[in-house]
Every structure is written in C-alpha cells, then in structure tokens.
Amino acid sequence: MEYLRIKLKPKSFLHLGEREGWLEGSKIHIPSDTLFSALCHYHLLLYGEVDTFIQAFRSNPPFLLSSAFPFWDDEYYFPLPKNQLSKEKELKKIKFVNLNLLTRLLSGDSLDELKEEIETNQELEFLPRLSKKHETKARLVPWEIEDVPRVSLSRLNNHPGENYFHFGQVHFIEKAGLFVLVRFKDKSWEPKVRALFNLLADEGIGGDRTAGKGLFYPPEFDYLSIPDFDGANAVYAASTYFPAEDELGALANGYYELELRKGYIFSPASKSYRRRSLRLFSEGSVLPGLSRRGTLVDITPQIFKAHPVYRYGFLFPIPCKREAP
C-alpha cells in the first residue's frame, strides 16, 4: 500500500500537553485526533468554512490520517506493536521501531526471536538507540525534553501563591522531526491536504503558539510503501482509534492501551469550554479483524450551543498477524 508521507521539521519547541497534577508534560508525537482538529481549524482559515470538511468525514472519510511519529536522518519510526512483550531487559526499553523492523514484527516475528539479528543488522533500527560509542551504553533519542517552571496567578488577588507547575516542551535535534502518513480513498483531496499542512506549518500546533512554539519549516511531501502480508488477521493502529458500535466484538483478544483524551474547545465561538473526555485506543495497538474503521465522535458539551464538536476516531490500519510472541 502506498501512502503520502509528510515530513514536519519543527522550528522550535513543541508542547503537546499531558497534565498530571503539578506537571504538565508533553508528548513527543502528535496524535491523529489532534492533527485532525488542527486541519479543521486551518480549513476554516483557508476556505472560510469547515462544514463541508467535517461532513465528508461523517459519511465516508476521503482520507485517513496517521499520528505524527519521529524521523531521524533517513529512518522513520513507528510505535512498537503492543503484542511485542519481550522478556529481555534491553528489548523492553524499545519504544519506536523503524519501518524495516516494524515490517518484520507485523509479519509474525517477535522481538525475542530477532534479538541477535537486531544486535548485528544495522537495517533493524529502534528508539532509544543504543550508543556504540560509549562504554556506558547510553541510549539516544533525537529529541530533548525540558520541564520549565511556571506559576499561575490567582484571579482574586493576582498573586501566584503556591500555584506553580512545570511546563514540558520538546525540541528535536538537527535532521530529526515528525512525519505523518495519509491514505487517500479519494485522490482528488490530495491538493487540499497539502495546502492544509502547509498552513499548519506556518500557524503551528500545540500550546504556546503565540510565543513561537509548534511552528514548522515548509513540509516535505513524498510517498511511502508498506508491503501487505500473507495471512494477515489483524490490524496495527498507526493512529488513535475509537471503535464504532459494530466493531466492539473481539476487542478482548487484542493488544492495546487506552488513553484519556480531553481539553478545551478551540473555536472562533469560544475557547473557554471543556470538551467531553473520551478514551481512545492508543497508537501501536494490535486489534483482531481487518475491517475496522472507527468513527467520528460527537464530544460537544451540553453547555456549548454554537456548533457540534467532534473527536477524530478513525483507524489508520496496517494489516498484520496478531499472534502473541
């Protein structure tokens, strides 16, 4: 299968919030539902309306979005499939695998079976990389995470008091960044998708955009092919996923993690209302069956009447074999 590949090289820090008490950390990838929300906003800016864009996804999506994952030099990394439960201490630390290693894992091989080959075959890359230049066996990733201390002011007395927290931001090193895959069901949408990602690069994504964070250099567009596998009986999720009602069956036989997604509405009508929270299947999940699609979920809070608010839950599926290692 051939996909449009979009490379996004950040100009500065990224903040993709994950709040836990006093720490507001940041993801190092951009979930597909966050990307879709950004594209909706930039469709409104570019074309003056967003209804036609959303309506297209309420019936039969013209294209599917993956989440945005790291690239480093000429390697493109995907989340480790969640059916890969290695017993080896070093292999347990792997978070992302390159396309060559992903292909082997999706075709039925396991990390433990590939252990010796991974150690000797430079084509089978992963993150964090194991540095071969240091006796300490330092692990390397193409990003740096900073936790910046901040304070929040009381609305009553304009005083910070003890209202402090840490704000996480991610910086990608040279020759590294993020990439997105797009699978078109209707190729006539490709020029529009390219235009929207060009605008996204200029306008940014994530928090603190008014301070210059979340901006990208002009995106690079090319194509990527991922081979199909004989005997595939499951799908690997290269995106977040919310199942439709008729897709709930057999999920207990999958390998997955659930992630709570929440936040505020970002709309010309209001930016002060919280969206309804929703749990999504996270990237890297391996789910039985080949016909899963996902759905667009209405998460409009009852108090908000200006327009519907949706969470993108369509699956970006890559066929694979589900057998546990």
pLDDT digits (tens, 9 = 90+) for 127-183: 998 765 445 556 789 998 887 766 666 666 666 556 666 677 888 999 999 999 999
118 against 148, higher pLDDT: 118
User: From CA 50, how far away is CA 272, in angstroms rounded?
Assistant: 20
Percent of the chain surpassing pLDDT 70: 83
Q: Which of 90-94, 148-152, 255-259, 295-299 has the lowest mean pLDDT?
A: 148-152
For residue 308, how far is the Cα from the chain centroid? 23
For residue range 47-73, list pLDDT tens digits in order.
999 999 999 998 789 999 999 999 999
Q: State how far the Cα of 185 lies from the Cα of 64, in Å rounded to an integer.
A: 8
Read off the pLDDT band of 23 (50, 70, 90). very low
164-172 and 23-26 strand pairing = parallel
pLDDT band at 252 (very low <50, low <70, confident <90, very high): confident
CA angle 296, 300, 304 (to 5 degrees): 155
Over residues 91-113, mean pLDDT = 93
pLDDT, mean of residues 272-288: 88
Residue 31 is predicted with a pLDDT of: 94
Q: Residue 189: what pLDDT?
A: 97
Averaged confidence pLDDT in the chain? 86
pTM given for the model = 0.89
Q: What is the amino acid identity at position 231?
A: G
Is it the case that residue 286 has pLDDT exceeding 60?
yes
Query: Do 32 and 40 touch, CB atoms closer than 8 A?
Result: no
C-alpha–C-alpha distance, residues 273 and 222, integer Å = 38
Q: Is the pLDDT of residue 261 over 50?
A: yes
Q: Which residue has the higher pLDDT, 20 or 95?
A: 95
pLDDT in tens, 228-240: 888 899 999 999 9
Query: Averaged over 92-118, what is the pLDDT?
Result: 93
Q: Report residue 100 as tokens.
A: 């060559």
The domain limits of the chain are 2-320
User: Going by C-beta distance under 8 Å and a sequence separation of 6 or more, which residues neighbour residue 207?
Assistant: 15, 16, 17, 213, 214
